[in-house]
Amino acid sequence: MMESFRHDVIVVGGGGAGLRAAIAAVEADPKVTVALVSKVYPMRSHTVSAEGGAAAYVEGKGDSLEKHAYDTVKGSDFLAAQDSVDYFVEQAPLELTRLEHWGCPWSRNDDGTVATRPFGGMAVPRTWFAADKVGFHMLHSLFQHSLRFDRIVRYDEHFVTKLLVDDGAVKGVAALDIRSGAMRMFQGRAVILATGGAGKCFPFTTNGNIKTGDGMSLAYRAGVGLKDMEFVQYHPTGLPGTGILITEASRGEGGYVLNAEGERFLVTRDYGVGQKAELGPRDMISRAEILEIEAGRGIKGPYGEFVQLDLRHLGEAKIMAKLPFVRELSKIYAGVDPVHEPIPIRPVLHYMMGGVDTDVRGATPLPGLYAAGEVACVSMNGANRLGSNSLTECLVFGARAGREAVAYGRGASDGQEARLRAAAEEEGARIDALRGRKRGSEKIAALRSEMQTAMESGCGVYRKQESMQQAVSDLARIKSRYDDIALEDASKVFNTEILAALELGAMLDVAQAIAVSAAHRTESRGAHACRDFPQRNDRDFLYHSMVFHEESGPRLDKKSVTITRFQPEERKY
Amino acid sequence: MARASHPQAMTPHRPGSTRTAPPQVPDTFWSQPRMRTYLLFDATGIPYLVLGLIVLRVAVALGRGPEAWQELMRDFSNPLYLVFHAIALISVIFVGVRFFRLFPKAQPARLGPIKPPPRPVIHAGLYAAWIAVTLALLVVLGGLWP
Amino acid sequence: MAPETGEMRKRTFVVTRFDPDKDQVPKTQTYEVACRPDWKVLDALNHIKDEIDPTLSHRWSCRMAVCGSCGMNVNGEPKLTCKTQLADYGEVVEVEPLANFPIVRDLVIEMDGFMEKFKSVKPWVIVAKEKAAEEGPNRQSPEELSAFKQFSMCINCMLCYAACPVVAKEPHFLGPAAIALGHRYNMDSRDEGAAERNEVFRGEGTVFHCSYANECTEVCPKNVDPAAAINQAKLNAVVDWAASFVVKRNG
């Protein structure tokens, strides 16, 4: 008999958003218990790798909530839902303050107040930071704080394979206990997805191995639309080959971006960033780098061409005080000491602005299903995200989703256990049949690599209609070949091959959604830069694109943008 | 290529859902150079124990009077005692140097209102105190003063 | 000098294998891998998994030495395999699961023993009166931050447990990372819970099991210096114990 666990709220994913949602849920009601179901132990979540900082309005620096909102909306190329941006900027300082109370070691000014640093696209330095390891400190502070609550029950290394829907509402999940290989059932009134993005759909990414879009695929398959999927952010300063992130803070502290000739091309040539130069928004800088490389001013290396990030003029003292992790990463993974040499960098896939369709409450159109963090698209980041907004986003919308899920649960009922159990057992049988299934002609690693190649050529920094359509058809073919994969490992205990297979399935859903959305949007906006349609077209394309799952293939739709205060204007810096 | 640790090392109170293999250490765990140095460091407890017994013997002899003392002095002229004391001296220096190296970082940044001096100062201070006390003892026990 | 230069090199990996449903005891399996010059041990393991033997199980995620997943013993030493250059090794590379932990499968170890010790030191801010967010952040000077900052850098990779001779012999010992974390909170100017944590530090898992081997500090990939934390914690625990006779405490 399959093991079943009942909790009021089920949080899938134990990173910044998931932990914050769990904490908010148990704080909202002293009787609520939360299941925190994560495929890794929470401190391994990819939030840990964020480096630069978390943005929030600061007093006394000429900042205002309106300025933060405007920066965010302009950065989004006017595609952000302005009501959620307003909610975000108002909650941001409260959330970062809460984290400080919970022990997060924010870097300080001499007078003991929290220090802030300049960041890309922000008019005022409002980015709180913890040396250059903010994600690490935030995640560990959140996780350690969550340990106080016995009502947050963790199910570590459990991989959710399916949402259990009963009577038109989500009433639980089916999850694979990675350790024993047994399928387990979790029943609850609400499920919050906090599973992050899907950078591993691409070959060069800052993202870790676990970022495979599992939650996006779960919602997609349950009938929820994925919103704005074409907008994927390329971070301008990643290491060639590994894709390891070199934080934007290195530019915030004064680093220069140079081409092969040592020229500070963001200043000397017109790439639309104006005075902001290296602190322009990420999409513009990534595009500038690609254009420099295409013009022959890049440096050739074993992993492709790259440009340079020069920190030498900052001096060793400043680098060790403000960017010690950057120095460590450069030395270990690029063989370069930034005190003496420029760091090789190129645009790498970093973040997904798009995701599961939610509103400002974190609720999806499917009753009982919520989402927060990178997996969700509120949309707070529209067509392009400003650096240091996403960590705060995890906290603000994680907390909101947690509270909303509890409130919803009070008015909702449990699902019918027999029906849920039947669905979970069916799912268990599916997994058992897949595990160690030797017959088949396709290899997981090969299909994954082909998918990544298709995404790189079709959905790169610059896109062409022709290559996007090619990616769409390539992915459709790869998807059909996925049904024919052969698996070697028949063991039940800690079988990571079946995880790779399930993750590949999720990535193919997400990759297809990205490619199909990208191909239909014949304009350039934010991070979606179309060579055939280089202008922004507000008349025809000022809407969120939606993708729905159907057996015959993804179905496209539109959703209107909530515009309140800031009317779309030309995006110039 | 491994040997057993304690069978319950790092074992949770609630057993996991599958059978595990017992905790192990690599073959080189106990024999690698740093570990050997550390085990030697711990092993200096033996010379100290013996030293303690010898001091006890001295005290007892002192209590018993001049004949017992003469017998003690005759025993001490045995070259083995010299060898043992040489080993004990080397142990003390070995432990002292290792301990003085590790001691400064074992001072918390503050103990209530008290803050320790900077680590190099502690390090130098320990050696200064050690040398001063050694010299003082040599002077007094050597009969130079008073 | 960029590490990508150089030739491909064939290396022999001797990897521990264990499937509780098939094996009585762990065994080893040998793989020949043509390695790129800039590869880390983890790259070779991933290559084995993807191209040679998909049945090999190992944990990894960030591949940039910050998530703590990929700790294993490489040629007898606890290492983060994502950070360990193959260029530093000869032809034969032995990869074993992290020492001193029960083995779940292949290179995957049981982590819940660590999670229990971790939680037992109450690694969260303990204050008598919780502040509301509207009251704003606490003030903390850069000097106060530096009193504990180093000890907050722990990524929970557990290499220190794999190196510690006491962990190998004394199952109750809290261990380096857990003590360093408890000490981190004790030294945080915003925390008021030192008395509670010091009771744990004097309890069954006592910090006094530590005999200052310093191996934990030697293997720590993040310069946390847990040995310093443990030995500072000893002093604090003693002073706290003495003070408890003089000063009356709540709870």
Question: Which H or E run includes A346?
Answer: strand A343-352
Contact A259, A250 (CB under 8 A): no
Query: How far, in Å, CA of A11 to CA of A405, rounded?
Result: 10
Contact A305, A246 (CB under 8 A): no
- What is the model's pTM? 0.95
What is the structure's pLDDT at C7?
83
Per-position b or e across C10-46, b if 16+ CB within 10 A of its CB: ebebebbbbbbeeeeebeeeebebebbbbbbbbbbbb
Q: For chain A, what is the radius of gyration of the CA atoms? A: 23
What is the structure's pLDDT at C250?
53
Neighbours of chain B (3+ CB pairs under 8 A): A, C
Task: Reply yes or no on whether the pLDDT at C6 is more than 90.
Answer: no
Residue C63 lies inside a defined structural domain of this protein:
yes
∠ CA A480-A483-A489, rounded to 5°: 145
Same domain for C170 and C209?
Answer: yes
Query: Residue B85: which residues within 8 A CB-CB, separation 6 or more?
Result: none
Distances (CA, A) of B47 to A474, B88, B90, C209: 76, 6, 10, 22
Contact B123, B104 (CB under 8 A): yes
Written as six digits, the tokens of A474 are: 């390539």
Mean pLDDT of C44-63: 97
Query: How far, in Å, CA of A313 to CA of C85, rounded?
Result: 29
What is the structure's pLDDT at C1?
32
Nearest CA to A510 among A139, A186, A228, A268? A228
Same domain for C101 and C51?
Answer: yes
Contact A102, A142 (CB under 8 A): yes
Provide the residue ranges of all domains of chain A, joining segments of one domain with +: 236-347, 439-541
What is the structure's pLDDT at C249?
62
Written as six digits, the tokens of C218 are: 């030697």
Annotated catalytic residue within A98, A184, A235, A297:
A235
Q: For chain B, what is the radius of gyration of the CA atoms? A: 23
Query: How far, in Å, CA of A106 to CA of C190, rounded?
Result: 12
Per-position b or e across C184-197, b if 16+ CB within 10 A of its CB: bbbbbbbbebbbbb
- Whether A544 is a known active-site residue: answer no
Query: Residue A539: which residues within 8 A CB-CB, separation 6 or more?
Result: none
Report CB contact under 8 Å: B10, C167. Answer: yes
What is the structure's pLDDT at C3?
45
Among chain C residues, CA nearest to B11: C113
Nearest CA to A524 among A567, A475, A464, A469? A464
Report CB contact under 8 Å: A182, B18. Answer: no
Written as six digits, the tokens of A512 are: 């297809």
- Burial (0-12, 13-18, 19+ Cβ within 10 Å), A299: middle
Q: Give, as one character, the DSSP assignment of residue B111.
A: B
| Chain B with chain C: Cβ pairs closer than 8 A | 140
Amino acid at A336: V
Cβ count near B59 (within 10 Å): 10
What is the structure's pLDDT at C4?
52
Question: Which H or E run includes A558?
Answer: strand A555-560
Written as six digits, the tokens of C113 are: 């023993």
Q: How does pLDDT run across C99-147, given as a tens digit for each residue?
A: 999 999 999 999 999 999 999 999 999 999 999 999 999 999 999 999 9
Among chain C residues, CA nearest to A48: C67
Mean pLDDT of B73-100: 92
Q: How does pLDDT run across C239-250, given as a tens digit for each residue?
A: 999 998 888 765
Distances (CA, A) of A570 to A270, A272, A476, A529: 16, 11, 37, 15
Residue C174 lies inside a defined structural domain of this protein:
yes
A182 at B interface, C-beta within 8 A:
yes
What is the structure's pLDDT at B144?
87
CATH class of A236-347: alpha beta
Report CB contact under 8 Å: A177, B16. Answer: no
Same domain for C125 and C239?
Answer: yes
What is the structure's pLDDT at C5?
58
Distance from CA of C211 to the nearest CA of B (A): 8
Domains in chain C, number: 2
Residue C2 lies inside a defined structural domain of this protein:
no
Contact C121, C203 (CB under 8 A): no
Classify C89 in phi/psi space as left (phi over 0), alpha (psi -120 to 50) or beta. beta
Q: Specify the 3-state DSSP secondary structure of A77.
A: coil
Same domain for C235 and C131?
Answer: yes
Which positions in chain A touch C148 (Cβ < 8 Å)? 105
Written as six digits, the tokens of B83 are: 């060898």
What is the structure's pLDDT at A15?
97
Query: How far, in Å, CA of A428 to CA of A422, rounded?
Result: 10
CA torsion sign, A14 to A19 to A25 to A30? positive
For residue B86, the Cα-to-chain-centroid distance in whole angstroms is 15
- Whether A313 is a known active-site residue: answer no
Query: How far, in Å, CA of B119 to CA of B105, rounded?
Result: 7
Contact A13, A375 (CB under 8 A): yes
Q: How confident is the model at residue B138 (pLDDT cuts 50, 70, 90)?
A: very high
Among chain B residues, CA nearest to A493: B18
Same domain for C191 and C153?
Answer: yes
Contact A459, A515 (CB under 8 A): yes
CATH number for the domain that contains residue C208: 1.10.1060.10
Give the nearest partner residue to A49 out of C21, C67, C148, using CB atoms. Answer: C67
Q: Give, as one character, the DSSP assignment of residue A303.
A: T
Q: Which residues pair with A37 in a beta bridge?
A: A12, A155
Q: What is the 3-state secondary structure (H, E, C) of B67-105?
A: HHHHHHHHHHCCHHHHHHHHHHHHHHHHHHHHHHHHCHH
Amino acid at B109: A
Give the nearest partner residue to A489 out of C54, C61, C190, using CB atoms. Answer: C54
ipTM at complex level: 0.96
Q: How does pLDDT run across B110-123, given as a tens digit for each residue?
A: 887 888 899 899 99
Q: Specify the 3-state DSSP secondary structure of C132.
A: coil
What is the structure's pLDDT at A309?
97
Report CB contact under 8 Å: B1, C218. Answer: no
Q: For A190, how many CA atoms within 13 A lie in the half-sphere containing its CB? A: 31
The alpha-helical segments, DSSP class H, found in A295-339 are: 316-322, 324-329
- Mutation for testing the A interface, residue in C64, C105, C124 having most A CBs under 10 Å: C64
Report CB contact under 8 Å: A332, C65. Answer: yes
Contact C162, C80 (CB under 8 A): no
Give the nearest partner residue to C187 out of B20, B34, B109, using CB atoms. Answer: B109
DSSP E strands: which ranges in A116-157?
A: 116-117, 127-128, 152-156
The alpha-helical segments, DSSP class H, found in chain B are: 33-43, 45-64, 66-76, 79-102, 119-141
Give the nearest partner residue to C232 out of B10, B35, B107, using CB atoms. Answer: B107
Question: Which H or E run includes A455?
Answer: helix A444-458
Question: What residues of B are in the A interface, CB distance below 8 Å?
Answer: 16-18
What is the structure's pLDDT at A61?
85
- Burial (0-12, 13-18, 19+ Cβ within 10 Å), A464: middle
CA torsion sign, A189 to A190 to A195 to A198? positive
- Burial (0-12, 13-18, 19+ Cβ within 10 Å), A224: buried
Nearest CA to C53 among C103, C104, C95, C98? C95
Query: How far, in Å, CA of A377 to CA of A382, rounded?
Result: 8
Task: Reply yes or no on whether the pLDDT at C251 is more than 60.
Answer: no
What's the mean per-residue pLDDT of chain B?
92
Query: How far, in Å, CA of A468 to CA of A471, rounded?
Result: 5
Which positions in chain B touch C102 (Cβ < 8 Å)? 9-11, 16, 20-23
Among chain A residues, CA nearest to C22: A491
For residue A435, the Cα-to-chain-centroid distance in whole angstroms is 29
Neighbours of chain A (3+ CB pairs under 8 A): B, C
Distance from CA of C16 to the nearest CA of B (A): 9
What is the structure's pLDDT at A155?
98
Q: Specify the 3-state DSSP secondary structure of A21.
A: helix
Amino acid at A462: Y
Q: Specify the 3-state DSSP secondary structure of A201.
A: helix
Give the nearest partner residue to A97 out of C111, C137, C142, using CB atoms. Answer: C137
CATH class of A439-541: mainly alpha
Q: How does pLDDT run across B3-12, given as a tens digit for each residue?
A: 999 999 999 9
Query: How far, in Å, CA of C209 to CA of A463, rounded?
Result: 62
Domain covering B32-102: architecture: Up-down Bundle (1.20)
* Residue range(s) defining the domain that contains residue C118: 112-246
Distances (CA, A) of A178 to A154, A183, A191, A285: 14, 9, 20, 41
Backbone angles phi, psi at C247, to 5 degrees: -105, 130
Regions of chain A with pLDDT less than 50 = none
Q: For chain C, what is the radius of gyration of the CA atoms? A: 21
Task: Reply yes or no on whether the pLDDT at C166 is more than 90.
Answer: yes
Same domain for C152 and C90?
Answer: no
What is the structure's pLDDT at A572?
86
Same domain for C26 and C150?
Answer: no
Written as six digits, the tokens of A147 are: 């340990």
